[in-house]
Structure 1
Amino acid sequence: MIRMKSTRSFMFLICPIMVLIFLYYSSGRLHLRSPVQKSQYDKQGFLTKLDRKLPLELRYKYGNLSKGECKPGYTEAKMTSIYPKFSKPAPMFLDPNFKRLSKIISYPPPFGVRTQEKIIDHILQATKRYSLGSELDSISCKKCIIIGNGGILFNKSLGSQIDQYDVVVRLNEAPVAGFEKDVGSKTTMRITYPEGAIQKPERYEKSSLFVLSAFKPMDFKWLRLMVFNEKLRSMEGFWKSVARVVPREPEDIRILNPYFIQEAAFKFIGLPNNNGLMGRGNIPTLGTVAITMALHSCDEVAVAGFGYDMNTPHAPLHYYEKLIMSAIKESWTHNISKEKEFLRKLVKGGVIRDLTNGI
């Protein structure tokens, strides 16, 4: 009897201790798991496990739309689902209120407008228009496509498919005439910088927006000359020859919001900040800047002509010339491998669609 009592006393004593030990280790395990929860996002803030499946709330939102129908707000919703830090839409082009945009006012070019406010004011007073135009602005759901210049476009016969998009964005001097079967004939805007602009006036499309993406202060000076149709007297400050005339009326000229360069470089790709100044390997390519713009401005985004395959050194570099892949040299300004990593996240996460499967 005495033994049974002592056994019971022991059990009454040991049980609470066991419960406390269990709770201690359970809380410890939970504590150990919390870093694992955080690691579901990479350094830039993207989900590490990506797939094209729609989150449940988006399935309900877009489930009843017929195939091919534009999905309102889809790009922003999908981007936010794989990158929760995605900020609210930023203006596509600079307008007279650009000084209120705190994200760009403290950075000099290419990441902002500091020191360039007066010349931008002067340009905007002449252009007078700061959007895509009344026809496109009235479309409630916009499908956009960014056309890269890669040789992967050659002989793909995507022209008619490309022309079905509401907004077709082309880059630098990539030609359309003679390549319509592969790249289409429609151009909504051509984004460029002075050294990349078409130099022969006759090669410009009859109607499209000319959009400057400024990478240095000199680019704004060049644009002012083009807007006011003044003579360019010197090539000093440019790293190669530039266009001397842009055959566009001032109202067809825009300035791309430099926030897209900043966001692509520092937030999406994770390039070195370098105190907000242009430096080695911290400038995104124009194609990635254009895609970043589209993430803010379009309901659906597609790309074509992106991606360089260095495993095929004799493949064409661009769709419009005979240069081959091996002609690519290491870039001082770009980090191509890190940039490709970012673009792959967008494709794998279903944020953008890659028509040529080169990313």
Structure 2
Amino acid sequence: MLQGKVWCLRLLPIPLLIIILAAYNSSYGVLGRYGIVSQSWNTTKMECNGKWESLNLKINKTTKLFLKLEDFFWRKYVSQQPLPYGIKGSELLLLKVLSATKSYDMPAHIESLECRTCVVVGNGFAIKNTSLGRIINNYDVVIRLNDAPVRGYEEDVGNKTTLRIFYPESASSNPRLHNEEDTLMVLVPFKPDDLRWLKEILYDEKRVRKGFWKPPPLIWLGQSSKVRVLDPYFMQQTANKLLQFPLAPKKGQNHFHPTTGLLAVFVALNYCDMVHIAGFGYPPKSDKRQPIHYYGYHTMKSMKNSPHDVSREGRALKRLEDSGAVMYLHRHL
């Protein structure tokens, strides 16, 4: 009897080993599904060093992402460029907007982190059917774009939102529908009319419809304390350093601006120690049927007169990926 118990104890590690191996293979399979194992996922990928000097970009880890009221009083805010690359000519509008919001920082619990993990969730069709929702929710900072929905798509895109980057034409009339209570709504002002729209909302003034390529919401249910205005420095650096766009194109040249998606990636590179992305990429221009978003039915046809150079942005993301600055959470072209 005693001899039988001894043999049982000797054999006990074998099933335990089988269970451990099965769990490892299962997790490895999940990571492989998202294309992570092909990126040599290991502890070195988890280090918070933020080194990508080979890109020759001026990227410095900073906690200052948003414009502050004090920038216009106690320090001289020098800007040689108008919106979207500077604030020249929009100072008075900004004074009114920032006086109403009164909050200019990231949440304290994120600011205090020694290592910030961030994911930028793009609106691309590539994230559909990836089941990345739970993984996305585990990041310290989750950045979403424009009016991309969350409800009904949680399995693929998660439901945590730290920052929602938007502009008036891409604003949802009820931000609370697809955001959390503490989500920061980050305005990217492309033109003075964008600041005017926000001022009219915050002060409940008469709305002026002119000045927009698409009518923005006349009623916007966002909380003023959760509103932030992104420093145009980030748009300027994204255009000039990452995409090499001329900030003041010559006569006859196309005037392109970065998408909010690529802008969000650049913001994350400045603020975060680890940057992962999902839902980026467009279908080939020859593919007229595949939707470009994980929601809705817009195709590449809707990009015909776009002020964005999506091909150049794709190459920029490839450079960032090859340098190790960003990593995709799923397979992509």
TM-score between the two structures when normalised by the length of structure 1: 0.74
Q: Residue 195 of structure 1 aligns with which residue?
A: 169
Query: Where do 4+ consecutive residues of structure 1 move more than 4 Å?
Result: 99-102
Residue of 132, 140, 144 corresponding to 1:170: 144
Partner-residue secondary structure (3-state), 1:105: coil
Separation in 1, partners of 2:175, 2:163: 16
Residue of 56, 70, 93 corresponding to 1:84: 56
- Paired residues in the alignment total 289
User: Is the contact made by 1:264 and 1:289 (CA closer than 8 Å) also made in structure 2?
Assistant: yes
User: Is the contact made by 2:175 and 2:222 (CA closer than 8 Å) also made in structure 1?
Assistant: no
Separation in 1, partners of 2:322, 2:44: 20
Structure 1 residues 288 and 69 mapped into 2: Cα distance closer, same or farther (>3 Å)? closer
Partner-residue secondary structure (3-state), 1:321: coil
Separation in 2, partners of 1:330, 1:148: 20
Q: Deviations over 1:282-341 (max 9, x none)?
A: 2111101111111111001011000012154432211111333x4343334211111211
Separation in 2, partners of 1:232, 1:319: 35
Separation in 2, partners of 1:321, 1:123: 32
Q: 1:200-219 residue pairs with structure 2 within 5 A?
A: 200=174, 203-207=177-181, 208-219=183-194
Partner-residue secondary structure (3-state), 1:224: helix
Q: Partner amino acid for 1:98? A: D
Q: CA deviation at 1:200?
A: 4.1
Q: Does 1:347 align with 2:317?
A: no
Residue of 199, 215, 223 corresponding to 2:198: 223
Q: Deviations over 1:7-60 (max 9, x none)?
A: xxxxxxxxxxxxxxxxxxxxxxxxxxxxxxxxxxxxxxxxxxxxx999xxxxxx
Q: Deviations over 1:167-211 (max 9, x none)?
A: 001101000000000000101111000000012456242421111
Partner-residue secondary structure (3-state), 2:185: strand
Q: Does 1:67 align with 2:43?
A: yes
Q: CA deviation at 1:220?
A: 0.6
Separation in 2, partners of 1:327, 1:122: 39
- Structure 1 residue runs without a partner (length 5+): 1-51, 55-65
Separation in 2, partners of 1:321, 1:267: 33
Q: Residue 29 of structure 1 aligns with which residue?
A: none
Partner-residue secondary structure (3-state), 1:274: coil
Separation in 2, partners of 1:276, 1:200: 40
Q: Residue 213 of structure 2 aligns with which residue?
A: 239
Separation in 2, partners of 1:162, 1:201: 20
Q: Residue 151 of structure 1 aligns with which residue?
A: 125
Residue of 124, 147, 161 corresponding to 2:98: 124
Structure 1 residues 276 and 68 mapped into 2: Cα distance closer, same or farther (>3 Å)? farther
Q: Partner amino acid for 2:56? A: P
Separation in 1, partners of 2:238, 2:305: 17
User: Is the contact made by 2:200 and 2:207 (CA closer than 8 Å) also made in structure 1?
Assistant: no
Q: CA deviation at 1:68?
A: 8.5
User: Is the contact made by 1:157 and 1:181 (CA closer than 8 Å) also made in structure 2?
Assistant: yes
Q: Partner amino acid for 2:66? A: F
Separation in 1, partners of 2:275, 2:319: 14
Separation in 2, partners of 1:114, 1:146: 29
Q: Partner amino acid for 1:205? A: N
- Structure 2 residue runs without a partner (length 5+): 1-37
Structure 1 residues 95 and 357 mapped into 2: Cα distance closer, same or farther (>3 Å)? farther
User: Is the contact made by 1:145 and 1:303 (CA closer than 8 Å) also made in structure 2?
Assistant: yes
Q: CA deviation at 1:116?
A: 1.1
Q: Residue 33 of structure 2 aligns with which residue?
A: none
The CA RMSD over aligned residues, in Å, is: 2.6
Name which one, 1 or 2, has greater alpha-carbon Rg: 1
Separation in 1, partners of 2:308, 2:175: 29
Separation in 1, partners of 2:261, 2:95: 27
Q: Partner amino acid for 2:312? A: K
Q: CA deviation at 1:265?
A: 0.9
Separation in 2, partners of 1:355, 1:177: 21
Separation in 1, partners of 2:323, 2:150: 31
User: Is the contact made by 1:281 and 1:332 (CA closer than 8 Å) also made in structure 2?
Assistant: no
Q: Partner amino acid for 1:123? A: V
Residue of 156, 159, 175 corresponding to 1:182: 156
Residue of 313, 329, 348 corresponding to 2:303: 329
TM-score between the two structures when normalised by the length of structure 2: 0.79
Separation in 2, partners of 1:159, 1:150: 15
Q: Partner amino acid for 1:71? A: E
Structure 1 residues 130 and 68 mapped into 2: Cα distance closer, same or farther (>3 Å)? farther
Partner-residue secondary structure (3-state), 2:43: coil
Structure 1 residues 232 and 327 mapped into 2: Cα distance closer, same or farther (>3 Å)? farther
